[in-house]
Amino acid sequence: HLADSLSFSGRKVVAAWAAVPFPALRGCSLPDSLSAFQHQVPWQPLSSCREQEGSCCFAQSVVLRGISKGHLRCPAKQPSSALHAWESSEQVLQHYLHTLFPGALSTCHLLEQPCSTPPPYPQFFSPLLSREGFLLDQPPGSSSAGAVESIPVLAALQASPALHRLLCSLPQQLGSLRLRSFPSFFSAGVEEEDFQEALESLRTLAQCYQLGSGAEEEADSD
């Protein structure tokens, strides 16, 4: 249902992205943490598509968890950027998304509860991470070091041009198959005409994720 709400103008697919953990310094504010990523996104692709050059998407839903309202602003610090001028963490994140993805439909949610990482969750974290999953200035001493118990996470679902190349590659790879070599296709009731029609549907879907396409112009006009 969430993917459907982010898909319009013929689009049906979204890509997943995440920052695990979200790179936030311990004791630092959310605006300061996001300010370090003014020109690049802080997450990495989880879907099998390459990260697009530059920041661009048609629609997205972003969730940040593990950041409390106390991380909004550092004590006794004057606003040093537009992100520091907002009164709530939700407004900070929403402004950040609109700045990084102008013109995109963006929704965001903040949850104070972090993601727990109890055993058997693998402890592959950097020694510069605190037990609460925040970045430290220097590794803790052996007496205070311990397993990471929870982490803040930033995750996103996006309908973005990054999916164009992936969707284009699917009909190319499938079109090279010799269906006669796979009799199970026909025994399952798949007709070659239906197969070719499915490939054409994939090509049409891929074009909906291309920048400058008619679908994009239609979405902009809406």
Q: Determine, yes or no, domain membership for 213.
A: no
Residues 89 and 194 in one domain: no
Q: Determine, yes or no, domain membership for 220.
A: no
- Kindly give the confidence (pLDDT) of every residue in the chain, 222 residues in length, as a single tens digit, with 9 standing for 90 and above: 888 899 888 999 999 999 999 999 888 889 989 988 887 888 998 988 776 555 688 999 999 999 876 555 554 455 567 888 888 889 999 999 999 999 899 999 999 999 999 989 999 998 899 999 999 888 776 655 678 999 999 999 999 998 998 999 999 888 887 777 777 777 777 788 888 898 999 999 999 998 875 444 444 444
Residues 44 and 120 in one domain: yes
Instruction: Note down the domain range covering 34.
Output: 1-159
As to burial, measured by CB atoms within 10 angstroms (0-12 exposed, 13-18 middle, 19+ buried), residue 150 is buried
Q: Determine, yes or no, domain membership for 152.
A: yes
Residues 20 and 111 in one domain: yes
Q: Determine, yes or no, domain membership for 216.
A: no
Residues 80 and 181 in one domain: no
**Token pair listed for 1:** 């249902």
Question: In angstroms, how far is the first alpha carbon of the chain from the final one?
Answer: 21
Residues 72 and 140 in one domain: yes
pTM of the model: 0.81
